[in-house]
Amino acid sequence: MDDVMKPKITVQILTFNEEKHLARCIDSVASFASQVVVIDSFSTDRTVEIAKEKGALVLQNKWLNNYAHQFNWGLDNANIESDWIMRLDADEYITPELAEEIVNKLPGLVDSVSGIYMRRRIFFLGQWMKRSGTYPMWVLRLWRNGHGRCENRWMDEHILLSQGESTRFEHDLVDDNLNDLTWWTNKHNHYATREAADLLNHKYHFTPFDERDESDGEQAMFKRWLKEKVYANIPLFVRPFIYFLYRYFIRLGFLDGRRGFMWNILQGFWYRFLVDSKMFEAEEIIKHASNKKEAAQDLVEDQWGLKPPTKTANKG
């Protein structure tokens, strides 16, 4: 395709000690990215060196325990002038088929389309988790510059479009983390704390956060509706069992073999059970307080050390 016709795309990646993944990630976007911006949280390994070797612009900013804050900081400070912006995690990469689809389809989109959903393919211990309800997982990762930002929540944050419609591309991006199970469990322990904070906030409404438009029929909105309107109303410690049984048997997770069994036990049951345990611990403290709303907020912000999310500035 003639470079004159080719839309300019900036890929923004957040990093902290991602030397295992970063080169793979950047190489996967080389065929279509006009710029790669790495927002680094002061890595202590070779992350910054690798990013610069690959030609990326590197900006460093202190992590405030909030993905959205860091990502939106990058949008505000990287002076991005491209037509489109892509969000990509360092342990993700774009398949060659998706890269070709982006090059071929993006120039032909009508002006009313501002966002592109693509399928995320999750790997666990080197194996694609094709079942268990985790594929296809549709995520909005490419949008017109100025038409989207990352919603501010403690967990499960997505890109919010401020204007325009969205469409879907056919091919996949891949989430394939190469770290070991110790790293994985430590990461999910932190995730469980943030997930519990979101659930407490949903119950006690102690701080505002971004809400997706309920008219958004995409998968992410439906899954959030299920979590907040259905799952959250099932008793603690019962819901992880139900969720595991649903994923492993009804969604055929058992067909993914031993790794699939591990994945569903750890991510579909243990993680959810850990969230409920943190919720139980929190509720035991909150129930003795005269002002439960303030008690929930103090626990999340002071004891758990989570900065309150703020409303996304340019949300339409």
User: How does pLDDT run across 138-156, given as a tens digit for each residue?
Assistant: 999 999 999 999 998 888 8
pLDDT at position 66 is: 84
- Is residue 217 predicted with pLDDT exceeding 60? no
Quote the percentage of the chain above a pLDDT of 70: 92
Query: Per-residue pLDDT tens for 92-110?
Result: 999 999 999 999 999 999 9
Mean of pLDDT over the chain: 92
Quote the percentage of the chain above a pLDDT of 90: 83
219-232 average pLDDT score: 77
36-62 average pLDDT score: 98
> Could you tell me which residue, 49 or 213, shows the higher pLDDT?
49
Q: What's the rounded Cα separation, in Å, for the pair 284 and 101?
A: 52
> Could you tell me which residue, 210 or 301, shows the higher pLDDT?
301
- Is residue 251 predicted with pLDDT exceeding 80? yes
Predicted confidence band of residue 210 (pLDDT cuts 50, 70, 90): low
- Is residue 313 predicted with pLDDT exceeding 80? no
66-82 average pLDDT score: 95
pLDDT at position 6 is: 79
DSSP string for the chain: --TTTSPPEEEEEEESS-TTTHHHHHHHTTTT-SEEEEEES--SSSHHHHHHHTT-EEEE----S-HHHHHHHHHHHS---SSEEEE--TTEEE-HHHHHHHHHHGGG--TTEEEEEEEEEEEETTEE---TT-SSEEEEEEEETTSEEE---SSS--EEESSSEEEEEEEEEEE---S-HHHHHHHHHHHHHHHHHHHHHHHH--S------TT--SHHHHHHHIIIIIGGGSPTTTHHHHHHHIIIIIT-GGGGHHHHHHHIIIIIIIHHHHHHHHHHHHHHHHTT-SSHHHHHHHIIIIIS-PPPP---TT--
Across 68-82, 227-241, 243-257, 289-303, least confident range: 227-241
pLDDT at position 316 is: 34
> Could you tell me which residue, 315 or 10, shows the higher pLDDT?
10
The residues spanned by each domain of the chain are 9-175, 181-303
- Is residue 2 predicted with pLDDT exceeding 70? no
| 9-175 classified as CATH 1.10.760.10 | no
- Is residue 315 predicted with pLDDT exceeding 50? no
> Could you tell me which residue, 60 or 157, shows the higher pLDDT?
60
**Would you say the pTM of this structure is higher than 0.85?**
yes
pLDDT at position 1 is: 46
